[in-house]
Structure 1
Amino acid sequence: MNEGKRPASFYVLALFFAAYVLFLYGPTITIFVLSFQGPEGGLTFPMRGVSLHWFAKLAEGVGVVDIWAAFGRSIRVGLVVMALNVVIALLAGLAFRKRFFGDGALFYTSIASLIMPSIVVSLGIGLAFRLLDTGLKSWFESMGWQELADGYGSSMGLYTSALGAHLTWTLPFGLLIMFAVFNRFNTAYEEAARDLGATPWQGFKDVVLPIIGPSVIGVGMFGFTLSWDEIARTSQAIGDLNTLPLELQGLTTTVTTPVIYALGTVTTVLSLVVVGVAVAAMRMLARRKAG
């Protein structure tokens, strides 16, 4: 009689899981809801009307901060990080298919940044580039290029120090994914391609890449989304121009209207769009492979 009845532990665990999900996504849902308040809306409940007023205000700009310029910078650096993440992780995965001298040390060095405190990584990168700036200025002066030394600013920037800081966070994830993929890759497919006369490049392009394609897309998705919302590693290594997360962090202390929630909603939706595109691309590749 009690075969179909669930034990009491099931309901306890289900309640615990529901509380966990609410704790995890509740703040995001709250921000999403409050961003659609009317003109008289505040930062807390109860809501005062429902409208797109704060999204219109966001389009006009947020105070003295050029939020859309920061938005564009984050998009651009995210795309560059995504491309580098895919290329480096894929090449590393191919290289590590065979043992070579120092491969263990190189592997652990590559993923060591995952266990290092983010702020320490950021401070280290910032210090390294400041020392580089000091060295370059000293060299310019020693060469008699005083005008160049006086006009020199800093080598720190979006595509130098900030890009490196982002890669210390995104690249280890890409490497671990590709190492796992190639660790269980069946080399019989490549051997069959070689038996049929395929060159190494043709074997990679027509055999290996289509099989690992979903994983490559996943590496790219990780690269973009992790770069998109990175703060700690960027904070001391960004230079003069901030990315969107840094601007958003600064705005939380000065903006007291739901426009900050509207900005959070837009950035979250963009992240979800990237994930959705990646999942759709993976499914498309899976259907092509099955067909």
Structure 2
Amino acid sequence: MPGRTARILLTLLFAVFLAFLYGPTLTITILSFQGPDGGLTFPMNGASLHWFGRLFATQAVGDLGAALRRSLALAAMVTVCTVLVSLAAGMAFRRRFPGGTALFYLTLASLIVPSILVSLGVGLLFTLMEWEPTWYSSAFGAQLTWTLPFGLLIIFALFNRFDRAWEEAARDLGATPWQSFLHVVLPIIAPGVVGIALFGFTLSFDEFARTLLTAGTGNTLPLEILGMTTTVTTPVLYALGTASTALSFLVIGLAILGVRGLRRPRER
């Protein structure tokens, strides 16, 4: 009986936690389907897809379409760079080299520094060098200080469990270093590489603090949302939240399907 009571209490606690975690997202999703005359609060005034149609229309303030394209392009750039650098670093750190430990801790130090200070530092650097801050240069570099440490931690965990016997067997059969990497190492760690790409994309797509002072005149989507909430607020923001949440779930679903697809050849 005490054990059953404890399970019930833990279940209720977990349900409350889920409601606290996903309640705001659910509320935004419901309010995004209001009619053309809908407001920002309950009760809803009609039901339609009107505000989804207004997503990429000309807004009174802001340009969501251009901001979304910038965020997607920036997230793609950050994802590719994070994957490539993490793979290269993972292969390099498989052997000890002078300064390797200091370089590792220096890379992880960017996780400790407050994000707004990183944004301020990168923005000041571009100003002192008389370079124009843009979303594809200074914001790109600032976001890499956030995504690369996560990529390195994942790749190091993968190689810590990697069995070198498979790689050595390929070398014994005459494979070159590149062939053993492409046909043996990469397929084995591929699910982890997909995870690094997923981290890079999601962390970059909604990053705000490290982009605030480095994006220049071209706002990314989080910055555009901030500008709209400080000037004019309409249910189109709720529709945007619903659409971006659906996009996140789509990316996660594609990553899961990709991991399963990579595992099938190994299982066979």
Question: How many Å separate the matches in 2 of 1:254 and 1:238?
Answer: 20
Match of 2:42 among 45, 48, 51: 45
Amino acid in structure 1 at the alignment position of 2:43: P
Match of 1:104 in 2: 101
Q: 2:167 aligns with which of 190, 195, 213?
A: 190
1:22 aligned to which of 8, 19, 23: 19
The aligned residue for residue 68 of structure 1 is 65
Match of 2:91 in 1: 94
2:166–2:184: 8 Å Cα contact kept in structure 1?
A: yes
Alignment partners' CA distance in 2, 1:74 and 1:57: 19
Q: What residue identity is the alignment partner of 2:110?
A: S
Contact 2:62-2:227 within 8 A present in 1 as well: no
1:285 paired residue number: 262
> How far did 1:6 drift?
4.6
Alpha-carbon distance between aligned partners in 1 of 2:262 and 2:58, rounded to the nearest angstrom = 40
Give the distance between the partners of 2:33 and 2:254, measured in 1 at CA.
26
Task: Summarize deviations over 1:92-119 as a string: whole Å, max 9, x none.
Answer: 0111111111111100111111111111
Shift of 1:277: 0.9
Normalized against structure 1, the TM-score is what?
Answer: 0.89
Residues 1-291 of structure 1: matches in 2 within 5 Å?
A: 6-133=3-130, 154-291=131-268
Identity in percent:
58
* Count of aligned pairs between the two proteins: 268
Q: Does the Cα contact within 8 Å between 2:115 and 2:209 map onto a contact in 1?
A: yes
1:151 is aligned to none
Q: Secondary structure at the match of 2:76?
A: helix
Letter matched to residue 24 of structure 1 = L
Instruction: Mark the runs of 5 or more structure 1 residues left unpaired by the alignment.
Output: 134-153
Give the CA deviation at 1:267. 1.5
Higher mean displacement: 204-213 or 156-165: 156-165
Could you tell me how far 1:253 is from its partner in structure 2? Answer: 2.0
DSSP 3-state at the match of 2:119: helix
Tell me how far apart the structure 2 counterparts of residues 225 and 78 of structure 1 sit (CA, whole Å).
8
What's the C-alpha RMSD, in Å, of the aligned pairs? 1.3
Larger Rg: 1
SS state of the match for residue 99, structure 1? coil
Matching residue's letter, 1:118? S
Residue 256 of structure 1, CA deviation: 2.8
- Contact 2:142 2:211 survives alignment (8 Å): yes
CA contact (8 A) 2:55 2:65 kept: no
8 A Cα contact 2:194 2:255, kept in partner: yes
